[in-house]
Amino acid sequence: MIPSSFTYKRAGSAEEACDLAAEYGEDAKYLAGGHSLLPLMKLRLAAPEVLIDVGGLRGLSYLTDQGSHIAVGALTRHHDVQHSDLLARELPLLAHAAGQVGDPQIRHRGTIGGSIAHGDPASDLPAVLLALDATLVARGTDGSREIPIGEFFLGLFETALEPGELLTEIRVPKPGAGLRGWSFQKFTQRAIDWAIVGVAVQGGHVALVNMAGTPLRATAVEAALAGGASPAEAAARAAEGTSAASDIRATREYREHLARVLTSRALTEAASRAA
């Protein structure tokens, strides 16, 4: 399978990337690791006329301790997130979940920013960063702005990024005392598949993978936990407020069942790590 024709441009800096995006307008797409976009292009489900390759911008690949939060460069690869000592210490949920994305070859190419900007509700990291209450930084030709992750995912493959805006950094607050319990549960049919359903838990935050057109917080579960419910009682409410699809892999009812089961497992595991 071969993508339809396009023009390839390699950006030498974030600034140049934004200028190229402004020049080519809506015909252009940013290319990071390419492991979401290129498969869609090979299937002709996407056909941008211009690809602006930002994958080589090593200046946007970093993990730094900023005191109250960890700053993650948008072009940091899953492999580097997975193996970061800093994250193992401060944000083990993020490091662990990055190691669950695809397979080693995919993690050598795919980036955290690419995964977020792609806006696929079946991807792992969008829900993980929702549970972690991250803030995203996007750069346009007029400068940078911050976007709370809760306002970022608007629909299937649709995000709050304006045309031409480049996601440059993800800021993840360090969980406070008493909120350090975490878990990531993912159910797949094959080892490297997308989650049929996934659940990310950090402290009292619970986020769901593939239970709606966007990743979403399980607010009914969170409210039950805040009200003193047991993990089992809270998990029973995991499908409330969701709108899971039925597709070739699973029916909506099965996904709702999985959401409850996986949430129960996640809350139990997180509680065991909270001390």
Partner 1 sequence: MKVELTVNGKQITADVEDRMLLVHFLRDVADLTATNVACDTTSCGACTVLLDGESVKSCTVLAAQASGHDVTTVEGLASNGAMHPVQRAFHEQHGLQCGFCTPGMVMAIVSLLKENPHPTEEQVRTGLEGNLCRCTGYHNIVRAALAAAETAEVPS
Q: Which residues bind partner 1 (CB under 8 A)?
A: 1-8, 10, 31, 34-35, 38-39, 42, 51, 53, 55, 79, 102-106, 108-109, 191-192
CB of residue 191 vs partner 1: minimum separation in angstroms? Answer: 4
CB of residue 230 vs partner 1: minimum separation in angstroms? Answer: 33
* Contacts (Cβ under 8 Å, ≥6 apart) of 46: 29, 37, 40
Pairing status of strand 50-53 against strand 28-31: parallel
Q: Measured from the CB atom, is 12 or 148 closer to partner 1? A: 12
Q: Measured from the CB atom, is 83 or 252 closer to partner 1? A: 83
β-bridge mates for residue 158, sequence order: 155
CB of residue 3 vs partner 1: minimum separation in angstroms? Answer: 5
Q: Which amino acid is at 169?
A: E
Q: Measured from the CB atom, is 9 or 139 closer to partner 1? A: 9
CB of residue 193 vs partner 1: minimum separation in angstroms? Answer: 9
| Cα–Cα dist 174/11, whole Å | 32
Q: Measured from the CB atom, is 3 or 140 closer to partner 1? A: 3
| Cα–Cα dist 205/131, whole Å | 5
Residue with tokens 């029916």: 251
| Cα–Cα dist 106/36, whole Å | 10
